[in-house]
């Protein structure tokens, strides 16, 4: 469903028939978690500015859920604190027509001597609450390990 959501987002700014899934549900393993990754590409319609592109694809559906607008409203109602940079983006925009951006997760913000981070899990129809909760604990452990490894130096 999320791949379809992102295909739809790109379809609003790309030439008809050019949006394609180049990789579908590849498993990427990291030290504490795994990700299922799909890559989607398309040829932009003429005259699309970087701002129109960003507006079309952010926030990412993997962060918001689907339907995107309603899910964002629910998240805003339920979460007790602002997300700050979490689930935003970091990357670069080149002088040539090239950009490389991410969605900020598993990142630590250090501001005025204090460190903070967010963790979460994707909730879907067949989610098992205990497993989703364990996923947040696993992600928290990885972030704490990263923080503590810097303190010990």
Q: What is the 3-state secondary structure (H, E, C) of 81-109?
A: CCCCCCCCCCEEECCCCCEEECCCCCCCE
Q: Does residue 74 sit in the same domain as residue 122?
A: no
Per the confidence metrics, is the pTM higher than 0.75? no
pLDDT of res. 20: 97
Task: Residue 9: give the domain boundaries.
Answer: 1-104
**Number of structural domains in the chain:** 2
Q: Does residue 68 sit in the same domain as residue 11?
A: yes
Over the stretch 29-68, which tens digit does the pLDDT of each residue have? 987 778 889 999 999 999 998 889 889 988 888 888 888 8
Give the C-alpha separation, 101 to 92, whole Å.
Answer: 6
pLDDT of res. 143: 92
Q: Does residue 41 sit in the same domain as residue 81?
A: yes
Q: Does residue 90 sit in the same domain as residue 18?
A: yes
pLDDT of res. 153: 56
**Residues designated as active site:** 35, 62, 86, 106, 122
CB 20 within 8 A of CB 41: yes
């Amino acid at each position: 469903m999320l791949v379809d959501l992102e295909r739809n987002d790109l379809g609003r700014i790309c030439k008809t028939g050019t949006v394609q899934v180049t990789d579908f549900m590849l498993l990427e393993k990291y030290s504490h978690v795994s990700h299922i990754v799909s890559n989607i590409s398309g040829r932009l319609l003429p005259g699309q500015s970087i701002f129109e592109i960003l507006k079309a694809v952010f926030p990412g559906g993997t962060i918001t859920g689907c339907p995107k607008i309603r899910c964002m409203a629910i998240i805003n109602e339920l979460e007790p604190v602002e997300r700050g940079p979490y689930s935003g983006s970091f990357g670069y925009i080149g002088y040539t027509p090239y950009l490389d951006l991410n969605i900020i997760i598993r990142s630590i913000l250090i501001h005025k001597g204090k460190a903070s981070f967010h963790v979460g899990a994707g909730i879907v129809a067949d989610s098992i609450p205990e497993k989703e909760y364990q996923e947040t604990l696993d992600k928290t452990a990885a972030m704490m390990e990263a923080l503590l490894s810097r303190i010990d130096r």
